[in-house]
Amino acid sequence: MNKSRAEDMLREIGLPLGGGILVVILTFFFLVPKVKEINSLRTDIAQQKKEINLLSQKIADLKTLSEADLQESVDLVKEALPPEKDPFKSLAMAKKIFQDSGVAIESFKFITSVSSGSGQKKVDLSPLAINVSFFASFENFKQMIKEVEKILPLVKVEGLKFGSLEATASASLPDFSGKISIASFFVPFPKEMGKIEEPVPKISNQDKKFIEELKSFARYQPEVTNELAFPAGPAGKENPFPF
């Protein structure tokens, strides 16, 4: 076999072989990644279409609600269960309830352990309770309990213990002393708005009934007086709840 014939055979075999190798290289480094990228884009587009459909359904559900009524309900629930603890407001509200009912407060203190109920759906309640020593007539005490049960923010009697009795001049029901624990509750705003795939929460008939009941409750209105002010002093702040 002469040299010319060998070169011809090399061209006939080498060129197709080199082209095949080049195709394999290009396929491995360029075509395969592009195919994967295209498949990934198709998956993302399909997921986005699904999310758009879910959001469209949510928008349709929201359009059936009255924005004004919904805002009123939100404001009312926020007033009933504030998102943040406010010890000063709880203290001032308790003082106003007792004073308006004619119940004398002898002393008070905050307590940390409060029961939030059992056997019900778990709610992230953050309770704040005040233990109050009081002195009152039966009628005034009864009026105070009514005030506690029908005021916003919501307040609950957690404990009650009666002490000594004191005879009255009219020989009617005696005045008495005791201790009562009153708790107010706070519910922090949710940290998440919910997942896209979850439907818009529906307001049940029970929720509507609860909201209508809250509308009949009295609202606590803080009084701006010198007694509740916080003037600077040697101890930092004056006691806002003098008795």
Give Cα 172 distance to the centre of its chain: 47
Distance, in Å, from the CA atom of 56 to the CA atom of 62, rounded to the nearest integer, reads 10
Q: Which position has the token pair 């587009």?
A: 45
Residue 82 near residue 189, CB atoms below 8 Å: no
Structure confidence by residue, pLDDT tens digits, 75-122:
998 899 898 888 888 888 889 899 999 999 988 888 764 444 444 444
For residue 132, what pLDDT is reported? Answer: 92
Q: Which pTM does this prediction carry?
A: 0.60
